[in-house]
Structure 1
Amino acid sequence: MNKKPVSYLQTDARWKNKPYRVTGENSTIGGSGCGPTAAAMIIETMTGKKFTPEDACKWSMAHGYKALGNGTYYGYFKPQFAAHGIDCDMLNWTKTYGKPDHANHKKVEEMLKQGYYFIALMGPGLWTSGGHFVVLWWQDGKMRINDPASTRDVRLNGDIRTFRSQCSYYWWIDARKFNGNGAAVKPPVASSDTPATGAAPSLGLKVGDIVNFTGTQHYFSANTSKPSTCKPGQAKVTQIYNGKHPYQLIYVKGGGSTVYGWVDEKDIQPPALAAVDKLAKLGVINSPDYWKQTVTGGKVKYLDALLTKAAAKITKAGTRSATPEAGVASLVSAGVIDTPDYWLKNYNSYPSLGELLRALGGAV
């Protein structure tokens, strides 16, 4: 029997109106915070330390897991639990909505009996009209639910077949040791198509980075072989894993892409290279290949950061600054450069670097 998790509601008056949002939306914990609220229940239960939905939502926003116009990215749970020393992962990428007899449901029941907690994503039906995360635990021979948005008995202790019909995905949390069922070790999973260790990603990206996705295929897990088609464009890095397809990307609204899954490293253009393309398209620079080679070759220290920050600010080309010094001053004023002495000292050390500072300075 599992220890009963702490129960939190995202609609609690203490935090329901507090922000859970990114730029471009006005969402709150009460409206969109079910995922972090579910995580907070288990984290506080297992650590014995206060960790409220507000705390979890702040962590999610700070680490890039709030999805614009939606709730929380699927990649949120594993690193959130890891930050508290707790092992967690997605069971697999098999969608079970409308499949009450799928093997995943039986596997989850077996693991609940062993002392695991689970978080489930519910699809349209009794729990939600869109998507909603709930906590699962085991007591007295039955699966129980902590619902971040409801205390109705039908949603906490209702019909198991209805639940299975409306559940889409599962995340396990290894609480076996906590629940008195032996040492915590890596769990079995319901599918062999889960991430396995492969070559380490080499692009140096981090979760939350906005990249230019240049491919047309994405995958449901980091090691699956069967792709689905999608469109290229801007996307956000939401998870990183040492697998065949090491980066999980989700499209950025208005960026042209439809990617929503794991992708190959070769199909990602790092932020600095994407910045070069943007600046060339705007007419700020006229030799993009030269600056791409300079960035990838590591020939100018901090150039990648300069280009990325400048591209984020610039919306059109402008009259070039009269001198590199004037360009640096403009970039400092715009918040692009915070180490002017470095650039003033080194702009003559590499061909055309002074001209680049004049161009960027005039455009910001």
Structure 2
Amino acid sequence: MTKSFLLPDLGEGLTEAELITWLVQVGDTVELNQVIAEVETAKASVELPSPFAGTVLALHAEEGSTVEVGSTIIDIDTGEDAVAEERTPVLVGYGVAGEGKSRRGGRKAAAAPEPGDRPLASPPARFVARQEGVDLADVPATGTHGEVTRDDIAAYLTRPKPVEATTDETRTPIKGVRKHTAAAMVSSAFTAPHVTEFVTVDVTPTVELVEKLRANKHFRDVRLTPLALVAKALLVALRSNPSLNSEWDEANQEIVTKKYVNLGIAAATPRGLMVPNIKGAHALGLKDLAVALNGLTSTAKEGKTGPEDLADGTITITNVGVFGVDSGTPILNPGEAAILCFGAIRRQPWEFEGDIALRSVTTLSLSFDHRLVDGEQGSRFLTDIAAILADPMNLVALA
């Protein structure tokens, strides 16, 4: 008996997915729940298990194609007895045999030139034109009677030739993660009134603390970076600024302030921008937070981030410093009140204890939803983070 497997709804009301690769071919024997294909939704890469055991009869989608939810993607012969259904193939778009008339309008034959339309030219000039492959109709005539002369042809051949416009370009279909990211960013930019503030801070004490912690036995097997300290500073600062961890519920006309923090980390992946989040980040110590950050970014770069890791974020950090960029004006992740941008740490002259010294300096920028966060609240939150990074002892005091 032939059974068809329809592409299921892979979560959160998604309507389509891109078929990345088939893991079976026609004629293969498959087991129940054997992975038969990998698809990419607007949010993540997902493996599809077979709901039937049997032999593959047909694959209905090509690799790289976009398939709508509910469409048949594979037929499997389960070996069960059933009344065979006879299918009559239908060729869509072909007319009845014998209909020879084309739908396209036939091109009209070019009208024969009128005798008077033939450019005037002497036989020697026509000979030169034929030798050079020149259409006399294209040559400006300067002869006494309006005829084209050999000098006209020579001038035409030596004229500056127009530069052809460059048409070298690549067109890439908008789909998968890129399509979802674009839709989310447009929705956020035109829904939430964005405000962005900046602060430049001397983070030399934080850089020195990171170096000391790396040598500490408790962090011996942990890849510790300044980003972990920035994340911890943000989590501590949220305790005094809860409005930055809230959401605007338009349907119910409510502001939802969340007492938990699912910390999103913007990650550049081969499939585009993703923002997986660390669930319950507010409850993690520095070591556990660093381990979670490393695991999160590694999984994202390998393209193995699951839909559950992308859902329910409450606030985000984007680290543009890894690209050598000093700062930016990031767009909010939809459903969140704020996003912190962490710029590059640079050694530069800075006033320190009354003198000029080389210090490690960075710029932090904070974009927030002005419906949820007033300027005072956003400013206090940003300066609280900066104060912790300028003197990490504040982590001990505030935590």
Q: TM-score range by the shorter chain?
A: under 0.3
TM-score when normalising by structure 1? 0.23
Structure whose CA Rg is larger: 2
Structure with more contact order per residue of length (Cα contacts < 8 Å, sep ≥ 6): 2
TM-score when normalising by structure 2? 0.22
